[in-house]
Amino acid sequence: MKTDFDIIVAGGSVAGLLAAREIAESGCTVKVLEDDLEIGLPERCDGLVSLKGLEAIGMAPTSNVVQNRIRRAIISSPKGETVDVDAERQKVLVLDRSRFDRELAGLASRSGAEVEVGQRVTAHKEVDSAVQVETQQTSYTAKWMINATGYTALPRSSKSTLPAAKYEVYGDWFDRETIEIYFDQKRSPGYFTWVIPMSDDTAKVGVAGWGGNQFRLLDEFVKQHRGVAYKKIAAQIVVGGPLDRFVSGRVISVGDAAGQAKPTTGGGIYSGGLGGLLAGRCVGESVKSGDPAAVARYEEAWRKIFAGEFKTLLRLRRILDRLENDQIDKMFKAVASSGILEKISLESDFDHHSMAILRALGLNNVFKIASIVASDLLEGLPRLGRSSE
Identify the structural domains of the chain with CATH numbers, from first to last. 5-69+95-155+241-306 (3.50.50.60), 161-238 (3.30.9.10), 308-387 (no CATH)
Quote the pLDDT of residue 378: 46
Q: What is the pLDDT of residues 79-112, one digit of tens each?
A: 988 888 888 888 899 999 999 999 999 999 999 9
- pTM (predicted TM-score): 0.89
Which residue has better confidence, 32 or 314? 32
Q: Which residues of 211-246 are buried (b: 16+ CB within 10 A; e: fewer)?
A: eeebbebbbebbeebebebeeeeebbbbbbbbbeeb
Quick check: 377 pLDDT over 50?
no
Quick check: 159 pLDDT over 70?
yes
pLDDT band per the 50, 70, 90 thresholds, residue 347:
low
Quote the pLDDT of residue 65: 93
Q: Is the dihedral of CA 160, 163, 168, 171 positive or negative?
A: negative
pLDDT band per the 50, 70, 90 thresholds, residue 252:
very high
**Average pLDDT over every residue of 314-335:** 83
Among 337, 268, 276, 334, smallest CA distance to 301 is for: 276
Give me the amino acid identity at 23: I
Torsion on CA atoms 240, 242, 246, 252, rounded to nearest 10: 70
Quick check: 257 pLDDT over 50?
yes
Q: What is the pLDDT of residues 63-80, one digit of tens each?
A: 899 999 999 999 899 998
**Average pLDDT over every residue of 41-65:** 89
CA 324 to chain centre: 26
3-class DSSP assignment, residue 132:
strand
Long-range contacts: 379-384, Cβ < 8 Å, 24+? 379/315, 380/315, 381/315, 384/312, 384/315, 384/358
pLDDT band per the 50, 70, 90 thresholds, residue 387:
very low
Which residue has better confidence, 158 or 220? 220
Helix axes 269-289, 296-322, angle to 10 degrees: 160
Quick check: 348 pLDDT over 80?
no
Quote the pLDDT of residue 373: 57
**Average pLDDT over every residue of 165-179:** 96
pLDDT band per the 50, 70, 90 thresholds, residue 323:
confident
Q: What is the pLDDT of residues 107-156, one digit of tens each?
A: 999 999 999 999 999 999 998 889 999 998 899 999 999 999 999 898 87
Quick check: 341 pLDDT over 80?
no
Q: Indicate the average pLDDT of the chain.
A: 87
Quote the pLDDT of residue 156: 77
Quote the pLDDT of residue 164: 94
End-to-end CA distance of the chain: 56
Residues ≥6 apart with Cβ < 8 Å to 32: 8, 9, 11, 12, 16, 17, 20, 105, 108, 113, 114, 115, 116
Quote the pLDDT of residue 384: 42
Beta 161-170 vs 228-238: how paired, if at all?
antiparallel
**Average pLDDT over every residue of 296-316:** 91
**Average pLDDT over every residue of 160-168:** 93
Which residue has better confidence, 37 or 368? 37
